[in-house]
Amino acid sequence: MAAKLRSYGRGLAPLLWRRGLSNASSSTMIQQQQQQQSGKSMNLYSAINQALHIVLETDPRAYVFGEDVSFGGVFRCTTGLVDRFGKNRVFNTPLCEQGIVGFGIGLAAMGNRAIAEIQFADYIYPAFDQIVNEAAKFRYRSGNQFNCGGLTIRAPYGAVEHGGHYHSQSPEAFFCHVPGIKVVIPRSPREAKGLLLSCIRDPNPVVFFEPKLLYRKAVEEVPEDDYMLPLSEAEVIREGSDITLVGWGAQLSIMEQACIDAEKDGISCELIDLKTLIPWDKETVETSVRKTGRLLISHEAPVTGGFGAEISASIVERCFLRLEAPVARVCGLDTPFPLVFEPFYVPNKNKILDAIKSTVNY
Amino acid sequence: MKTRIMGFFGAVNQSCFGGDSYSYLCRSSVSSFCFNSSRTANQLDSLYVSDDDNNQALDFPGGKVTFSSQMRFISETGENRVPCYRVLDDNGEPIIGSNYEQLTKELAVKMYGNMVTLQMMDTIFYEAQRQGRISFYVTSLGEEAINIASAAALTPDDVVMPQYREPGVLLWRGFTLQEFANQCFGNKADYGKGRQMPIHYGSNKLNYFTVSSPIATQLPQAVGAAYSLKMDKKDACVVTYIGDGGTSEGDFHAALNFAAVMEAPVVFICRNNGWAISTHISEQFRSDGIVVKGQAYGIRSIRIDGNDALAVYCAIHAAREMAVSEQRPILVECLTYRVGHHSTSDDSTKYRPIEEIEYWKSARNPVNRYRKWVERNGWWSDEEDRELRSNVRKELLQVIQLAEKTDKHPVTELFADVYDAPPLNLQEQEKQLRETITRHPKDYPSSVPV
Ligand SMILES: Cc1ncc(C[n+]2csc(CCOP(=O)(O)OP(=O)(O)O)c2C)c(N)n1
Ligand SMILES: [Mg+2]
């Protein structure tokens, strides 16, 4: 009986998958220039919440689960979902990250959209094996007979001013070293909603890191409708001619302040939101660096082995003769994330501003 | 045996006897108390019972297993829920016929004093967080008996690997209120050098490993540490704590299995307080709690009333004696309740009824129950109680004030201890950071000396 069920499910999976995608196609893929400014003013956690509502509404085979999601999650992202969609589709799991992701892989492999929440990115490591050895290789190792593309793992990441070692980490680089998964990080509520919908509907497993500092802090107009923002497309969010800055997530607002201050000193900065870290949009960064001749990357994670190193190496390969200064990296220090030393640890505005100036005046 | 219902999310019989099998005498040098234990043989072969007509057995690599012509699945539940050992009834009166160890007046009063101190520290530190003076706090309210009585049953050489809701163990071992405050304020007297969030205490001197937020990671480590004590033939064990939620992590299962296989002298104390943040135990596991998991791994286990300080003391004392003298792991499940919110980031009224909290806070309050017993013995008076509380309160306010105005550790400490000595990259980064601070001193808090 169990075996029969399983083969039935598997046989159906591609079909269901298509069904899932066709549901999604009623949504619009917004190109950057088309993005409306209109909508309802909301913060980032509400935008995530809206995306989850939409996906559960439009896809009967979508599930949302994780530690404490039933009552709304510790960051309120899953508020109201149980009441609306029932506890078969939205539920608490036991406290076990490897279980959450393994369960999600199995659910996804049967043709469902499994939206798993890891309570903090700092607690994703027990699930590392399931993500790296399982989710990432599910399609490849089976010759594309099986896949778990319906899996999306959401996890709050990054500094919050009082998180210490285990409520502050930015572990994105670990996952960027893993072919087979995508890594996406939004910078704002509107981006969060559109990107999350794309991640959930993308036919590949995705790790979606949410900047928890911005859950309440970042507020903007978010379109009410079902829309998706393209993955693997970076966006120039500020145009300039002297230096290119690349970042993602919460760090962008700090970089933007540095750009504004640099402008007062007559330095014109171009700021790029990478959005998808793998597979990343080299072309947009390359085009920009060809124009400015200079590159600065900033992320909260420790500088050594951070994703900035990969961007730097790739751009040096592509733009070596055009570069007028070494690529600058303004990142977290090579220490665990510290509590009282947090202001010293983080790549703040003035660290970035200093690096902009020394790169431009190299 | 007196059977009562405890109202713990489904009724659990209370028993003054630990198990339902045979009782035996512990080889304790401390006293000749008596307790009961579930039967767990070292040699599974001794469990081999041939009730097979043809007297046939499978000579399996793991030992002999009888054949059966019955296709019988083992039930997912036992016939009855595992009863809960307790000594004191709700009025603090010892249950007739219960097996427990007599405490001296001195020990009994010290335990009570520590329980009150822990409770008051929680109340006042929690308040300090509400006022924005510290960034975070977690209380142990409702779990004072587990904290203090388990600590009292150990020797100072027993190594403790905590989860995070066990600061009472440190308190018992002599960690001062000032030391607690220093950690919460992350000042220069904090042994963790201000690097971790409040409540992440640790003390090498007191054999108490530093708290780490990731759940359950301490458990397999505890087994490794216990194996070291075993190899060194120490008269000590490792005692490690875990919540009900924590037992769902892979590390819990790895630890129990390792402990059994390595025959490690480790006591696992599970504080089953009904909730893991907002997750009720019915969403955490479907077994009869934690206690039954021990047997599956070949570990002797007991369920006790975690709100009965005497039961906790006696059971943990017995557990550590067995762990050390027989070189084996023991699992103790304490039934209790998290009376406070999960932490200062939580509002538990969002997910559980206020009446439930109230019930456990008043009717099942472990401190009040224990106090009644101490008073009944004539060891404690209202006058002494007033004096204790007023002294502790005064001290708490003082230590907070002092901790607050004490400087933080200097910037060098940001780079120290990543490794035994800072490698080149960190030396460079420190130099760079100092230059940055000189350029932009306003970006950095003045409480951290450069
Ligand atoms: C690996 C990991 N996952 C998630 C968390 C977040 N978290 C902190 S405490 C907690 C609940 C723990 O519940 P329990 O073990 O029952 O202990 P209690 O708080 O009830 O004492 C969770 C999910 C964590 N700290 N570590
Ligand atoms: Mg609990």
Residue pLDDT, tens place only, B390-439: 999 999 999 999 999 999 999 999 999 999 999 999 999 999 999 999 99
Q: Is residue A20 over pLDDT 90?
A: no
Secondary structure of chain B in HEC code, one letter for each residue = CCCCECCCCCCCEEECCCCCCCEEECCCCCCCCEEECCCCCCCHHHHCCCCCCCCCEEEECCEEEECCCCCCCCCCCCCCCCCEECCECCCCCECCCCCCCCCCHHHHHHHHHHHHHHHHHHHHHHHHHHCCCCCCCCCCCCCHHHHHHHHHCCCCCCEEECCCCCHHHHHHHCCCHHHHHHHHHCECCCCCCCCCCCCCCCECCCCECCCCCCCCCHHHHHHHHHHHHHHCCCCCCEEEEEECHHHHCHHHHHHHHHHHHHCCCEEEEEEECCEECCEEHHHCCCCCCCHHHHHHHCCEEEEEECCCHHHHHHHHHHHHHHHHHCCCCEEEEEECCCCCCCCCCCCHHHCCCHHHHHHHHCCCCHHHHHHHHHHHCCCCCHHHHHHHHHHHHHHHHHHHHHHHHCCECCCHHHHCCCCCCCCHHHHHHHHHHHHHHHHCHHHCCCCCCC
Same structural domain, B424 and B354: no
Looking at residue A174, its amino acid is F
Residue B24 falls inside a structural domain? no
B274 touches chain A (CB under 8 A): no
Q: Is residue A87 over pLDDT 50?
A: yes
Taking a contact as any Cβ pair under 8 Å apart, which residues of chain B between 158 and 187 contact chain A?
186
Same structural domain, B173 and B305: yes
Same structural domain, B214 and B319: yes
- Vertex A285, ends A280 and A291: CA angle to 5°? 170
Q: Is the beta carbon of B243 within 6 A of some atom in ligand 1?
A: yes
Same structural domain, B417 and B291: no
Domain with B361, as residue range(s), is 105-405
Could you tell me the pLDDT band of residue B223, with boundaries at 50, 70 and 90? very high
- Burial of B280: CB neighbours in 10 Å, binned 0-12, 13-18, 19+: middle
Residue A344: its chain B contacts at CB < 8 A? 411, 414, 433, 437, 444, 448
Q: How many domains does chain B have?
A: 2
Q: Which of B197, B215, B344, B345 to mutate to test the pocket of ligand 1 (most atoms within 8 A of CB)?
A: B215
Residue pLDDT, tens place only, B25-78: 333 333 434 444 334 444 566 666 655 456 688 988 989 999 999 999 999 998
Same structural domain, B317 and B433: no
Same structural domain, B236 and B272: yes
pLDDT for residue B19: 39
Atom number of ligand 1 nearest to Cα B138: 19
Residue nearest to atom 11 of ligand 1 (CA): B276
Same structural domain, B311 and B431: no
Contact A339 B448 (CB under 8 A): no
Ligand nearest to the CA of B163: 1
- Burial of B80: CB neighbours in 10 Å, binned 0-12, 13-18, 19+: exposed
Residue B34 falls inside a structural domain? no
B425 touches chain A (CB under 8 A): yes
Same structural domain, B360 and B436: no
pLDDT for residue A233: 98
Residue in A71, A111, A115 with CA at minimum distance from that of residue A92: A71
Fold: same for A39-223 and A235-361:
yes
Atom number of ligand 1 nearest to Cα B213: 25
Say what the ipTM of the complex is: 0.92
Residue B85 falls inside a structural domain? no
Same structural domain, B312 and B431: no
Question: At B304, which CATH number?
Answer: 3.40.50.970
The full length of chain B comes to: 450
Same structural domain, B329 and B431: no
Distance CA B193, CA B189 (A): 7
Same structural domain, B363 and B415: no
Q: Which one of B248, B418, B447 has the shortest CB-CB distance to A95?
A: B248
What's the gap in Å between A98 CA and the centre of ligand 1?
15
**How confident is the model over B136-143, as a mean pLDDT?**
98
Domain A235-361: CATH architecture, name and number where available: 3-Layer(aba) Sandwich (3.40)
Q: Is the beta carbon of B241 within 6 A of some atom in ligand 1?
A: no
User: Partners of B57 in the beta sheet?
Assistant: B66
Sign of the Cα torsion B285, B287, B289, B292 reads negative
Same structural domain, B277 and B359: yes
Q: Is the beta carbon of A112 within 6 A of some atom in ligand 1?
A: no
Q: Is the beta carbon of B340 within 6 A of some atom in ligand 1?
A: no
Q: Is the beta carbon of B213 within 6 A of some atom in ligand 1?
A: yes
pLDDT for residue B99: 84
Prediction pTM value: 0.92
Residue pLDDT, tens place only, A311-360: 999 999 999 999 999 999 999 999 999 999 999 999 999 999 999 999 99
Q: How many CA atoms lie within 13 A of B324 on its CB side?
A: 22
What's the gap in Å between B215 CA and the centre of ligand 1?
6
Residue pLDDT, tens place only, A281-311: 999 999 999 999 999 999 999 999 999 999 9
Where do the structural domains in chain A lie, given as residue ranges? 39-223, 235-361
Rg value, chain B, Cα? 24
Residue nearest to atom 7 of ligand 1 (CA): B215
For A39-223, CATH gives 3.40.50.970
